[in-house]
Structure 1
């Protein structure tokens, strides 16, 4: 999945000469947490968060400095330089940037121009879609040998019953000779597939106590 598939394109921005009061108003009215600061050519030159604005805002008990603080230009509190991403970057790769740098959002740049923004919430929603938890499904975890060809071998068991697989994840196991395959399948009754997997000799980690009723 690419950044351009999950980014928001209706980005609210401000020029560096805008006031802190203008930024506060935009943050509150649009229920956003970050505002990219751009120049006349829509190049990102900084970014301001709701925390930056709060920290720069005067105390409600300090009436003398209240007016002056809100009229300060936003360039005085913006963060720069700004880490950006490209629309055709892979989502799983920019996830590392979010995690390593502890960012809450990343502007998306193409030909040096701002075209979108990706937030932590966008990344979380993408994770939900990639794991298949956004649709009703059954989860099956299988411990398998860490060897080439094991994934299609296990998937063939699901194919025999024409079971629709909505997602597949691969987790490491504490023994490097094994790994965990996590399937989400769309079926009202996963018990026949579970029994097929057991009959094929696979060790189920989840569910590990369900068996198909004997007739």
Structure 2
């Protein structure tokens, strides 16, 4: 999945000369948390968050300076330079940017011009879709040898029951690098027959541990 499939294309922006007060109003009225700052060519030159604006706003107890501080230009508090991504970047790779840089949104640019924005909420929703947790299903975790060809062997067992697979994930088995865990989400609410099939083929099922399962 690529960024352009999940990004928002209707982006509220401001120029650097806009006031902090204007940004504050836009954030509240549109229920958003970030505003990209662009120049007249629609190049991203900065970004402001609701926290930036909140920190720059005067305390309600400082009535005399209230209006003056809110009239400061947004460029005085914007973050620059800005991390951006391309519409054709893979979502999985962009997720690492969110994690490593501890950011909550990234502008999306093509030919250095703003075309969209991607937020951590968009990423979380996409993760839910990719893992298949948004539909009724059952999750099975199978411990297998860490060698080529194990995934098709395991999924062949599922095929015998003619059950749809919602998602497949693979991650390391931490206690022993010689193994890995295949996590399969299946569109069935009764995984017991499939679990028994896996066990009869010699696979170790780590999850679920259900009553009535043979050893």
The TM-score range, normalised by the shorter chain, is over 0.9
Query: What is the rounded CA distance, in whole Å, between the counterparts of 1:101 and 1:189 in structure 2?
Result: 41
1:42-191 → structure 2 map (5 Å cutoff):
42-173=42-173, 174-191=175-192
Pairwise CA distance, 1:211: 3.8
Pairwise CA distance, 1:210: 4.1
Query: What is the rounded CA distance, in whole Å, between the counterparts of 2:3 and 2:161 in structure 1?
Result: 35
Structure 1 counterpart SS, 2:84: coil
Alpha carbons 2:136, 2:189 under 8 Å: kept: no
TM-score (norm 2): 0.96
Alpha carbons 1:195, 1:211 under 8 Å: kept: no
Deviation string, structure 1 residues 172-205 (Cα, Å, up to 9, x no partner): 1120111111110001322111111111111100
TM-score (norm 1): 0.96
4+ runs deviating over 2 angstroms: 208-213
Aligned to 1:20: 20
Distance 1:210 1:157, change over 3 A: farther
Query: What is the rounded CA distance, in whole Å, between the counterparts of 2:34 and 2:193 in structure 1?
Result: 50
Q: How many residues align?
A: 213
Distance 1:51 1:207, change over 3 A: same
Gaps of 5+ in 1: none
Pairwise CA distance, 1:17: 1.0
Deviation string, structure 1 residues 3-42 (Cα, Å, up to 9, x no partner): 1111110100011111111000000011111000011111
Alpha carbons 2:163, 2:187 under 8 Å: kept: yes
Alpha carbons 1:46, 1:82 under 8 Å: kept: yes
Query: What is the rounded CA distance, in whole Å, between the counterparts of 1:103 and 1:132 in structure 2?
Result: 25
